[in-house]
Amino acid sequence: MSQSFVERAGRIVDAILEVDPEGAGWAGDHRADDRLPDWSPEAVRARTAMLREASHALAEVDPDDLDAEDAVDLALLHREVDARLFLLGEIREHEWNPLLHNPGPLLYNLLARPFAPPEQRLAALSARLEAVPDALATARATLTESPRVHVETAIGQFGGVAALIRDQVPALVAEVPGAKIDAIAANATAALTEFVDWLRARVDTSDRDPRLGRKLFEAKLWHTLDSDFGADEVLARAHRHMDRVTTEIRAAAGELLGVADPDDATVRTALDRLAADYPSNDTVIAGIRTALAEAETFVATHDLATPVPDELVVQEMPEFARGVAVAYCDPVGPLETADLPTFYAISPTPADWPAERVASFYREYNNHMLRNITVHEAMPGHFLQLAHARRFRGSTPVRALCASGTFIEGWAVYTEELMSRYGFGGLPVLLQRLKSHLRMTVNAILDHGVHCTGMTEAEAMNLMLRRGFQEEGEAAGKWRRAQLGSTQLSTYFVGYSEMSEIAADRPSGIPLRQWHDAMLAHGSPSPRHLRRLLLPERD
């Protein structure tokens, strides 16, 4: 049965990558580089039929007939297939979220990474640009009621795609003698401008509630987390963790300020002192590069994990991707064969922000917090973990497709705690890490509150400002993010809870670096499956 499963899993992964250009690109598979996602009703029906057939085929496989790694692949692939069916059939985001129709990331990936000769990438880019007008026509025909926050965010992002075409495509064209795609690029830009105008005309009537409601949220959370934690247990654990971290941050603030009986006012005073050391749009990239060098040296000095020789490029976040998160790690796909860099992107503040809002933003993301963010996004967080994940080779390609956000975010948050425990950045970074942990925990509460219990903006802001000690600008952005998406904000807390428990269960006699390397040696499976592989006797 094991060989039969390997062949079956390979066929299913192949079928999924064939109809998912964005997912294929993320995985480092270039078969669909000349296509954009097809969200027409006919394509969605065909995709649904394929996934149902795949789910039935996987249900026929007995996990007891497989070795441990293949049994995990079976569970991961079955969950992935069923999650995609749920999203297409129940959430149906393609019918109400214009952000799902954004071609920007698929165009940018062809420009940013030289995975193939310029001629090949330009041919793929030209095909995608040529497909933009039809893709946006499909979006207009498919999108019905949308939430206002999604439409407003899409207006900014789609405008950023037009700027991407104008500003960055010419450089690739110049690398291919005689190439001319001016007309295709102009048509794509015109279609984007028309689509933005269409979105603007819909803003005032875009009154769909962005909240999923309890039933859909609980179901989506189950698919997202792939964890034994249910929604109510996540919420209860988050409240307990918030209380514990509040005690810890008070103690750290008291130590920084020399206060014997610290309280929340002590924390605010300490954070205000640290927030005064903040960057600007002109200095933030250089500050991140310095923090990265410090983190790399620290990991090596304390022998916390095995480094990788892969290249990491720090860059300004592309305009089309702004408006959701302040930073992200854009890794090389696990199926990629070219030698390419990973990108660590930082978002500057929008040009139209007033000076007060810019200052509030950078007080939140001050130089000490940026050190902690660099741990999370780069070293030894996402960059290191995803580089190790690329090196995993199983009997199937399942883990190239099925990367657990719970594992990925959980590892990154765990490394924040690990680094501060060993003294990285001293008390200032410890305080920012504890504040970050409060934010992570508040995120889970916010995720549940927005989508399950009707939490208002005033209640959310009070929670973030009072219990999370956040700056106004950060809290306003997180309120927006909580409405733009669902369940992803819970992956940080749940992932941290599970990954830190696995780290704490390190068998006696195994050095820390060796255990961390073992945790990173199996791709990015859900934490419950990682436990099954590392600690089968305790599973």
Q: What are the tens digits of pLDDT across the range 151-191?
A: 999 999 999 999 999 999 999 999 999 999 999 999 999 99
Residue 76 lies in a domain: yes
Place of tokens 């918030």: 242
Q: What's the confidence (pLDDT) of residue 317? A: 87
Task: Give CA separation, 133 vs 127, 128, 186, 193, in Å.
Answer: 11, 10, 11, 10
Q: What's the confidence (pLDDT) of residue 189? A: 98
Read off the pLDDT of each residue in 303-314 and give the average, rounded to a whole number: 97
DSSP codes, 205-226: G-B------HHHHHHHHHHHH-
Question: Is the pLDDT score of 1 beyond 60?
Answer: no
Distance between CA atoms of 329 and 313, rounded to whole angstroms? 10
Read off the pLDDT of each residue in 487-495 and give the average, rounded to a whole number: 97
Q: What's the confidence (pLDDT) of residue 347? A: 85
287 CB-near residues (< 8 Å, 6+ apart): 279, 367, 370
* DSSP for residue 147: B
Distance between CA atoms of 488 and 504, rounded to whole angstroms? 25
CB burial of 385-396 (b: ≥16 within 10 Å; e: otherwise) equals bbbbbbebebbb
Using only the alpha carbons of the chain, give its radius of gyration. Answer: 23
Phi-psi region of 61 (alpha: psi -120 to 50; beta: other; left: phi over 0): beta
Read off the pLDDT of each residue in 82-105 and give the average, rounded to a whole number: 98
Q: What's the confidence (pLDDT) of residue 240? A: 98
Pairing of strands 342-346, 312-316: parallel
Residue 64 pLDDT level (bands cut at 50, 70, 90): very high
Residues 50 and 30 in one domain: yes
Residue 217 lies in a domain: no
Residue 358 pLDDT level (bands cut at 50, 70, 90): confident
Distance between CA atoms of 82 and 222, rounded to whole angstroms? 11
Residues 204 and 291 in one domain: no
Q: What's the confidence (pLDDT) of residue 539? A: 56
Residues 204 and 253 in one domain: no
Residues 203 and 291 in one domain: no
Q: What is Dmax (Cα atoms) for the chain? A: 73
- Encode 68-124 in three state secondary structure: HHHHHHHHHHHHHHHHHHHHHHHHCHHHCCHHHHCCHHHHHHHHHCCCCCHHHHHHH
Residue 16 pLDDT level (bands cut at 50, 70, 90): very high
Question: Is the pLDDT score of 334 beyond 90?
Answer: yes
Say if residues 17 and 401 touch (Cβ distance below 8 Å): yes
Question: Is the pLDDT score of 428 beyond 60?
Answer: yes
Say if residues 40 and 138 touch (Cβ distance below 8 Å): yes
347: tokens are 């978002």
Residues 49 and 117 in one domain: yes
Say if residues 490 and 380 touch (Cβ distance below 8 Å): no
Distance between CA atoms of 380 and 304, rounded to whole angstroms? 8
Residues 482 and 403 in one domain: yes
Read off the pLDDT of each residue in 257-271 and give the average, rounded to a whole number: 98
Residue 413 lies in a domain: yes
Residues 193 and 65 in one domain: yes
pLDDT digits (tens, 9 = 90+) for 369-406: 999 999 999 999 999 999 999 999 999 999 999 999 99
Of 210, 237, 260, the domain-final residue: 210
Total structural domains within the chain? 2
Percent of residues, the chain, with pLDDT higher than 90: 91
Of 151, 183, 210, the domain-final residue: 210
Distance between CA atoms of 169 and 162, rounded to whole angstroms? 10
pLDDT digits (tens, 9 = 90+) for 105-147: 999 999 988 999 999 999 999 999 999 999 999 999 999 999 9
Residues 189 and 245 in one domain: no
Dihedral of CA atoms 324, 450, 219, 54 in degrees, nearest 10, equals: -20
Residues 107 and 192 in one domain: yes
Say if residues 470 and 506 touch (Cβ distance below 8 Å): no
Residue 539 lies in a domain: no
Percent of residues, the chain, with pLDDT higher than 70: 98
Which of 134, 122, 100, 135 lies closest to 22, judged by CA? 100
Question: Is the pLDDT score of 323 beyond 70?
Answer: no
Question: Is the pLDDT score of 489 beyond 70?
Answer: yes
Q: What rounded mean pLDDT belongs to the chain?
A: 95
Residue 216 lies in a domain: no
Say if residues 527 and 406 touch (Cβ distance below 8 Å): yes
Task: Note down the domain range covering 91.
Answer: 1-210
Distance between CA atoms of 127 and 303, rounded to whole angstroms? 47
Residues 246 and 189 in one domain: no
Q: What's the confidence (pLDDT) of residue 293? A: 98
Q: What's the confidence (pLDDT) of residue 58? A: 98
Q: What's the confidence (pLDDT) of residue 324? A: 60
443: tokens are 């995120």
Read off the pLDDT of each residue in 330-336 and give the average, rounded to a whole number: 95
Q: Return the bridge partners of 346, or none.
A: 316, 327
Residue 474 lies in a domain: yes
Residues 167 and 268 in one domain: no
Backbone angles phi, psi at 40, to 5 degrees: -70, 155
485: tokens are 């998406």
Residues 392 and 526 in one domain: yes
Place of tokens 């924390």: 267
pLDDT digits (tens, 9 = 90+) for 446-466: 999 999 999 999 999 999 999
Residue 352 pLDDT level (bands cut at 50, 70, 90): confident
Which of 460, 268, 264, 430 lies closest to 363, judged by CA? 268
Read off the pLDDT of each residue in 337-353 and give the average, rounded to a whole number: 89
Q: Judge if the upstream peptide bond of residue 37 is cis by omega within 30 degrees of 0.
A: no
Q: Could you give the strand order of the β-sheet that contains 342-346, starting from the edge strand earlier in sequence?
A: 312-316, 342-346, 327-330
Question: Is the pLDDT score of 349 beyond 60?
Answer: yes
Pairing of strands 327-330, 342-346: antiparallel
